[in-house]
Amino acid sequence: MIRIAIAGYGNLGRGCELALQKNPDMKLTAVFSRRDPSSVKTIDPQIPVYRLEDAASHRDEVDVLIICGGSATDLPTMTPMLARDFNVIDSFDTHAAIPTHFENVDTAAKESGHLAMISVGWDPGMFSIARLYGLSILPDGKDYTFWGRGVSQGHSDAIRRIPGVVDARQYTVPVEDALARVRAGEMPTLTTREKHTRECYVVAEDGADKALIEQTIKTMPNYFADYDTAVYFITMEELREKHMGIPHGGVVIRSGKTGKDDENTHVVEYKLALDSNPEFTASVLVAFARACARMQKRGVVGCKTVFDVAPIDLAPISAEEARAHLL
């Protein structure tokens, strides 16, 4: 039985508890939180909740600690710190900062003799694996990543910070025409604007200047200025009724050429359609936590990513069963 702990009990931590219930070879032994433990309501009320600062004193009860913090400010410090006492796994998703995070975690994990896995989820994570397989099999080709249709938390938050906005949801939507061209093996060059559009559902304060809010959204640098953005003002009731889910997904497509005269085109597509972004991410984290426990037992230490994990180490079945039934 692999003993798992969770650090941080928000949507993602809760998703991990749910995912663990689907995997009878693993059990949740502890939750660590920065909140007052008595205020943390786990799904199974029997799960002990401890203060995060006391985590190290429970290290002998845990094989792998899943760190469910935010990438902006939590994980850059939490993951290296906790890797001193635990085998850890996180879903760090600031792509540009991955090399630095990797180095920091690798140093901490090697010093303490632990195994750490970073950037586990779907992007980074399963989409990264799809990109790497694609490049490796079809080196003469191009890859494309499209996200959505799904809720972007970061873009929703950016809208909420605009004066006069009460609440908002932003959906990232892939452009169907661009997708169709990529799927047809055309290997087009696509601008940011040609790949995705952004749909914003905004609840404004009574009397707010909606034209100004819309203008502020559409011209916001980095977030919206480079996209065709649609803004819809709705009531709080409509937001609650239609936009409370956290769906997401997307596709990674690798298109490449083979043949004496490059006459043959191949298109490889990996597609996700997810009802719940955090619950799917948590499901990926839990599968890689299994691999983390197995690899650590074999003496692997330091920082690893999804690229370093052989598929069989994720499996809830034996290698013999996998060869007989899935190969």
82, 178, 287, 292: residue in contact with a copy of itself (rule CB under 8 A): 287
40, 132, 166, 190: residue in contact with a copy of itself (rule CB under 8 A): 132
- The interface region with a copy of itself, picked from 16-24, 31-39, 172-180, 186-194 by CB under 8 A, is 16-24
β-sheet bridge partners, residue 171: 151, 199
Alpha carbon separation from 20 to 28, 73, 87, 290 (Å, rounded): 7, 26, 17, 10
Chain position carrying tokens 């809760």 = 14
User: Considering the complex, what minimum distance in angstroms separates the CB of residue 308 from a copy of itself?
Assistant: 5
Nearer to a copy of itself, 36 or 320 (CB): 320
Surface-to-core class of residue 192, CB atoms within 10 Å of its CB (0-12 exposed, 13-18 middle, 19+ buried): exposed
Q: Is residue 180 within the footprint of a copy of itself (CB under 8 A)? A: no
Nearer to a copy of itself, 225 or 310 (CB): 310
User: Considering the complex, what minimum distance in angstroms separates the CB of residue 179 from a copy of itself?
Assistant: 13
Q: In what order do the strands lie in the sheet with 26-33?
A: 49-51, 26-33, 2-7, 64-67, 88-90, 115-117, 302-304
CB 5, CB 28: distance < 8 Å: yes
β-sheet bridge partners, residue 265: 257
- The interface region with a copy of itself, picked from 63-71, 83-91, 98-106, 213-221 by CB under 8 A, is 98-106
80, 124, 148, 302: residue in contact with a copy of itself (rule CB under 8 A): 124
Cα–Cα nearest to 89, from 111, 118, 63, 112 = 118
Q: Is residue 43 within the footprint of a copy of itself (CB under 8 A)? A: yes
Cα–Cα nearest to 288, from 272, 302, 304 = 304
Q: Is residue 133 within the footprint of a copy of itself (CB under 8 A)? A: yes
Nearer to a copy of itself, 73 or 136 (CB): 136
222, 237, 260, 298: residue in contact with a copy of itself (rule CB under 8 A): 260
CA 93, CA 90: separation in Å to the nearest integer?
9
User: Considering the complex, what minimum distance in angstroms separates the CB of residue 307 from a copy of itself?
Assistant: 4
Q: Is residue 273 within the footprint of a copy of itself (CB under 8 A)? A: yes
Q: What is the three-class DSSP state of 16?
A: helix
- The interface region with a copy of itself, picked from 81-89, 133-141, 210-218, 226-234 by CB under 8 A, is 133-141
CA 7, CA 138: separation in Å to the nearest integer?
39
Q: Is residue 40 within the footprint of a copy of itself (CB under 8 A)? A: no
CA 114, CA 221: separation in Å to the nearest integer?
41
Given the rule CB under 8 A, which residues bind a copy of itself?
A: 15, 18-19, 22-23, 43, 95, 98-99, 102, 119, 124, 126, 128-129, 131-133, 135-140, 183, 185, 256, 258-260, 263-276, 279-280, 282-284, 287, 290, 305-312, 314-317, 319-320, 322-324, 326-327
